Amino acid sequence: MPHSQVVIGVDSSTQSTKAAFTDAATGRLLAVGRAPHRVTGEAGARETDPEVWWQALCEAVAMGLKESGVPASAVTGLAVAGQQHGLVVLDAAGKPLRPALLWNDTRSAPQAAALTEALGGPDAWTARTGSVPVASMTAAKWQWLRENDPASAEATAAVRLPHDFLTERLAGTAATDPGDASGTCWYSTQTGAYDPQLLALVGLDESMLPTVAPTGAVRVGSLTASAAEQLGLPAGIAVAAGTGDNMSAAVGLGLGGAGLLDHPVLSLGTSGTVFAATRTRPASAALSGFAAADGTFLPLGCTLNCTLAVDKVAELLRLDREDVAPGGEAVLLPYLDGERTPDLPTASGLLTGLRHDTTPQQLLGAAYEGAAVTVLRALDEVLRACGLDPADPAVAGRPLRLVGGGAQGRTWVETVRRLSGRPVIVPESGELVALGAAALAASAATDEDPVAIAASWKTGDGPELPPVARDMETWERVGSVLDRAAPSLLS
């Protein structure tokens, strides 16, 4: 019996690459190949050699081919979803000049502040790009490179995002998509193109950047003979433009023009991320006003400190991550790596409200609460950016889709339920970023709508947990500490 057509969705994240071999008709995961990355740096620096990503992609595809038992000839399309914002600089031969600066590298915070002021403040930026520069954004990283590694900046012939770098290796074509491009702060979500004034502001020529395809689902080329040989796949299969990891997760959940609009998602990973697909172009200084992969928009709030920070607190207390109790009077803001939302790049963790009877379990509970309140406050901003009132009962009753590694943890799920007061859906499908990329790959191979493809796969479906009474006492206590402490955390 012949094999069904198979597409490969690649999730190239901060820590690893995953290659999801997916039945193009049903969305069934046939295998997921995995390979780790190596992140280096300290004192705010976070870097990875881009060649590590390519080698990991080759290893993950080889593993997926072996585990799935799928013949390479059954593969019809490939798409990459990558960690956003990272800065990759290439020489004239397309080779990396230095390690890439990752999204969570906070050294460019001074450059972000200077860029914000140079254009006339936050409102000027949101009017053009939908976002205000913070340390995460690529424009700030490019400015940091110009000031701190001018030799590399001068030698740069091409600038890429992580997923652009991999797509170019696959198809031999320098292409990106509006979703990932909208995280650079030199692409305008207002015009749908690179912004000449912003490029001039950062001293960058548009010829150094990849072409922006209309959506991440567009076929930007075919797998080259060289890449095919390294991957063990047939040359000529469709390569999609791909997108950023958050945009791909939205596709994987069936969010967008052909699916759910204005439905909130909370991703619990190394970072905490909240977003929703909407037709309303966002322009809020408190958020990243991204484009989505399918032509809609993706207002997004991202915190740097989520599951990894809480796990660190558990390690310090020598507790299992589930050995926890509500925080009582203690408030712990686990800003161990600075913070992005709110914009506190030099912040450290803050603990207050200790009593003689405070237990280690309560301190760990306070870390969960501090991380959850921070990201749920960003959720309210996302809803406002969609033109919705978070206090409207109809809006507050809309289920919150909970994804990411933390969504598999009992305490994370119950903390979010308690502090949000919302019904919660935990999708049964894992690897939503990779599945979103698989839908983009299937779209590139067939010209069908990628969100409609993912919706037909039902990858965003799961049991709905009913709402519980909202813990307003904890919500207000943590929020009050955050509001009072924010000025001092900036120093």
Q: Which residues are identified as catalytic?
A: 245
Tokens representing residue 138 in the block:
């690529």
What's CA 96's distance to the chain center, in Å? 23
Report d(CA 141, CA 197) in Å as an integer. Answer: 18
The length of the chain in residues reads 491
Q: Alpha-carbon torsion 455, 459, 463, 469, what sign?
A: negative
Phi-psi region of 295 (alpha: psi -120 to 50; beta: other; left: phi over 0): left
**Looking up tokens 């397309």, which residue turns up?**
94
Residue whose C-alpha is closest to residue 213's, from 172, 180, 260: 180
Query: Would the annotation count 84 as a binding residue?
Result: yes
85 marked among binding-site residues: yes
- Locate all alpha helices (DSSP H) within 24-121, ordered by sequence: 50-68, 109-119
Nearest to 338 by CA among 55, 136, 195: 136
Tokens of residue 449, six digits: 């709508």
The backbone torsions φ and ψ at residue 300, rounded to the nearest 5 degrees and listed phi first, read: -145, 135
**Which residues have a Cβ under 8 Å from the Cβ of 480 and sit 6 or more positions away?**
none
Gyration radius of the chain's alpha carbons? 22
Q: Judge whether 389 and 302 are in contact, CB under 8 Å.
A: no
| Token pair 């450290």: residue | 348
**Residues 89, 99: Cα–Cα separation, whole Å:** 8
Helix (H) or strand (E) holding 382: helix 360-385
CA distances from 379 to 207, 267, 276 (A): 37, 11, 9
CA 22: distance to chain centroid? Answer: 21
3 state SS of 12: strand
DSSP string of 325-368, one letter each residue? ---TT-EEE--BTBBTTTTBTT---EEE---TT--HHHHHHHHH
- C-alpha neighbours within 13 Å on the C-beta side of residue 173: 19
Contact 305, 337 (CB under 8 A): yes
The binding site for substrate comprises 84-85
